[in-house]
Every structure is written in structure tokens, then in C-alpha cells.
Amino acid sequence: MMYSLERGLKAEYEKDLYDPERVKAREVDRTKTDFARFVLEEWFPICIGLKWGDVDERCSTLTIQRNVVYTPQSGVVVGTPKTANSVRVIHVMQSTLSLLLMLKAQRKRENPGTILAGSLIFPGEAGIFEARDPNAVTRRVKRFMKVNRLPDLSPRSAAPKCQA
């Protein structure tokens, strides 16, 4: 192609008039520790207490209005925040909302005839209305961090900061 351009022949397509610069591919780094820490610290306390009724599909928002704790006396308890100021609404990216809607469609297929608004998005093994044990989630996160050779991190340590 360049031969014909050098000889003064007309290019058949406009894109043939120039050689595009080759963009050098960037190396993909492993998950950065700081980013992993941020995601786990900010989202762990929020996610396990979310219900489908907290998702506003039209506005792409989630309403954060409950927490999940484990106590030896009561087991896994889903509760409300200590103050009304702890209830908050956060915006969700469209890609995340799409994934949530796909998960919701899957739950509807798995549980026909069930109204999902009161069920948890990330339920425990006992059923869609039962919360996960936060300690089990912590163990899985610790295992993930160890397998991927990331620093040890307990997502539960972020709970007081996220509730503030």
C-alpha cells in the first residue's frame, strides 16, 4: 500500500493515506493491594445486608439501611443503623446495575412465585431471606488474600469507619 502512495497513485481508502501509530500495550498489573483494601473496606459491610427492595433501577441507586452482625447469643442478626444519618443512598454504575438485574432474573427463575423485594441480594446458604454469616465472608476474603499473596486484611475492621 505504501508503495502505491510513494509512486503518487491515488489511495483507494482515506485510511490508507497514513500509517497509524502503534499503541504499545500496557502491562496488566496484579490486583493492587490498595485498591483491594479500598473495595473490601468500603463495600463489605454494605453488601451482605442489601435487599432487592433497596435497588432503584430507574435512578441507578442503592439505599443502605441495614447492617448484619453476628453475636454468639443471637447468631446472625440483620438490624438497622443506630441513627437515621447512617441511612444513605449511593449511585451505582450502569454496568453494576446490569449485573444486579441479571442476578435478579436468575433469582426469579430459581424462586418462581416469590416476591423478591424482601429477600437479600447476597443471601446465606439457608435461603434467600437469611443473611450470610459475616464471619464466613471474612474467612473467604482472608483465603482469597492468601491465595493471591495480598496482605492479610479483615473486612470487618472497616465496619466502624463505614458506619460513621
* CATH number, residue 103: 1.10.443.10
pLDDT for the residue 72:
85
Total domains, the chain: 1
Which segments of the chain have a pLDDT < 70?
1-46, 153-164
Q: Would 22 be classed as within a structural domain?
A: no
pLDDT of residue 160: 45
Q: What is the pLDDT of residue 88?
A: 85
Q: Which domain holds residue 79?
A: 49-132
pLDDT of residue 105: 92
Check if the beta carbon of residue 152 is closer than 8 Å to that of residue 164: no
pLDDT of residue 10: 57
CA atoms within 13 A on the CB side of 125: 4
Question: Residue 13: inside a domain, yes or no?
Answer: no
Grid coordinates belonging to 125: 446458604
Distances (CA, A) of 108 to 41, 53, 148: 30, 14, 34
Angle at which helices 134-147 and 33-47 pack, to 10 degrees?
170
Of 118, 138, 140, nearest to 129 (Cα)? 118
Q: Is residue 21 part of a domain?
A: no
pLDDT at site 20: 59
0.85 exceeded by the pTM?
no
Q: Please report the beta strands in the chain, taking only residues with DSSP state E, as ranges in sequence order.
A: 55-56, 61-64, 67-71, 75-79, 88-91, 123-124, 127-131
- 14 lies in some domain: no
- pLDDT score at 58: 92
Provide the percentage of residues in the chain whose pLDDT is more than 70.
65
Residue-level pLDDT at 7: 63
What does the alpha-carbon distance between residue 55 and residue 100 come to, in Å, rounded to a whole number? Answer: 9
